[in-house]
Amino acid sequence: MSIHGELPELAAAVLQPGFVGTSAPDWVRRWLGAGLGGVALFARNVESPAQVAALTAQLRAEYPDVIVAIDEEAGDVTRIESRLGSSRPGNLALGAIDDPELTETVARDLGRDLADAGITLNYAPDADVNNNPANPVIGVRAFGAEADLTARHTAAFVRGLQESGVAGCAKHFPGHGDTGVDSHHDLPLIGQSLAELDAIELVPFRAAIAAGVKSVMTGHLLVPAYDRELPATLSRRILVGLLREELGFGGLIVTDAIEMQGVSRRYGLAGAAVRALAAGVDAICVGGEHADEQTAIELRDAIAAAVRSGELPEERLRDAVARVRALGAWTTGKQTETGARAIADAAAEPGVAVLAAPPATRGSAVGFAAARRAIRVTVAEDGPELPVAGAPHVVEFAPERNIAIGSETPWGLGAPLAGLLPGTTSCRLTADDLDGSADRAGPVLAGADDRPLVLVVRDVHRHRWIAETLTAVLAVRPDAIVVEMGIPVEVAGGVHIATYGATRALGQAAAEIIAGLDAPAPAAEPVPA
């Protein structure tokens, strides 16, 4: 077959598109038979572990070595548990505990669940050093603000995850931590010198590579110390010169979502994809927002056209395809070897029983136990005693969430406290609820009466409206309990509880402390169908 006859298949092999639905669409199944190398799952594709296992069985029936990817950080960013919230603590909480063996255990536990559901590539761990507290998109997704701490936990996460047969993916290369811009919306500038990057941002990526990480995700970041013109995703100097040659990474390089404004605003989806491949990327992640066959067609055809025109060398495309297929083969072999996956071939056929995947009621006992170790409590000199006396009133301050975390995942303390202390009441306030209000304390105190007051915040240091409201409320109720479920930059309240994240497991752990319970790991609620 001539190169021109092969081109559609080769171009499809480097795509990792998303799609809509909880079963494999016809177009995805057709594409897998025609060379598609992988797919990316999102929260919209997940109802239960058994359903995901059936979905991945359908995909694998068309192409056994298909890469099935998901963005499951086991923290605030969760897809596999998006309907309830993660039953694991998340990176910042693990970094606060600073027990690499525990991090490896949590990642191994996560890997087993993902492998049982037929997932082979996890876009995790986040290897960014979050040394800018104003960062709007990383925050609690990072293990911490210190390079060596982040590095040892990144390596531990990679080891645990990959031991279960799921490929890890260190992101967002060369480091998205020190910025105040979200690359979903614009192109962040990383202004450090070569020496600073080498001493901070690159340290966790070196550790991930030394731990054998199978893939690295690019960040849509402008890093002038290496390339003054092109973002990292499109920069050969960064992807080949730095990542391949200097750091010695030989695995799969995958883009962050190619539709993000950090690259698509200037180059368009197809233009960014072609430039990324030419620069050294091996796989294009797309479909968070453009989850349709037409987008996949446009990308495939643009890649093929770029080879025909000479813009994308044929050898470079073949190299990318070889890396995609090598990773697919590794995950298939590794999961078979470890026995983590037992999907019946017949599961792809209508009416035939599917894999007995982890039950929908399962939560991670390892995760709940780890979450309890992360909680930090600070009591003011004249602060109230814990546990609280009686059912509290809970007020949750809800800032706008970034796209990476999503809006579908529940969080907070109202629900877990109500489960432990019947009679607990709660409400949630946004900036719009308090906009223009002369009395900021009034809406918060309404309904509290003389009961214990619990104020739940996320990254209060980044949201002026929360900080001002908190000051006004504490002037009236200095005995209030403040629960910070983001980065704990400031301590306030009669009691301050830092959870280092807003996962379900961390919320449960904080609620247990407030209620005075030394409870065993709670059973997860059924995932709604």
**What is the number of other CB atoms lying within 10 angstroms of the CB of residue 70?**
25
DSSP H helices, 224-359, are 236, 261-279, 293-309, 314-338
Place of tokens 């780890």: 370
- Which residues does 159 contact at the CB level (< 8 Å), separation at least 6? 104, 107, 211, 212
From the list 34, 32, 41, 42, the residue with the least C-alpha distance to 66 is 32
- Three-state DSSP class for residue 173: strand
Active site residue 113: no
DSSP H helices, 1-99, are 3-13, 26-33, 49-62, 91-97
CA–CA distances in Å: residue 514 to residues 417, 423, 449, 480, 481? 8, 14, 18, 12, 9
Residue of 71, 76, 109, 256 with catalytic role:
256
CA–CA distances in Å: residue 168 to residues 64, 161, 327, 447? 19, 6, 11, 47
* H/E segment holding residue 434: helix 431-434
Residue of 153, 172, 176, 184 with catalytic role:
184
Q: What are phi and psi of 484, to 5 degrees?
A: -95, 115
- Which residues does 141 contact at the CB level (< 8 Å), separation at least 6? 73, 75, 76, 77, 90, 91, 92, 126, 128, 130, 404
Cα separation of 240 and 278, whole Å? 10
Active site residue 184: yes
The residues annotated as belonging to the active site are 184, 256
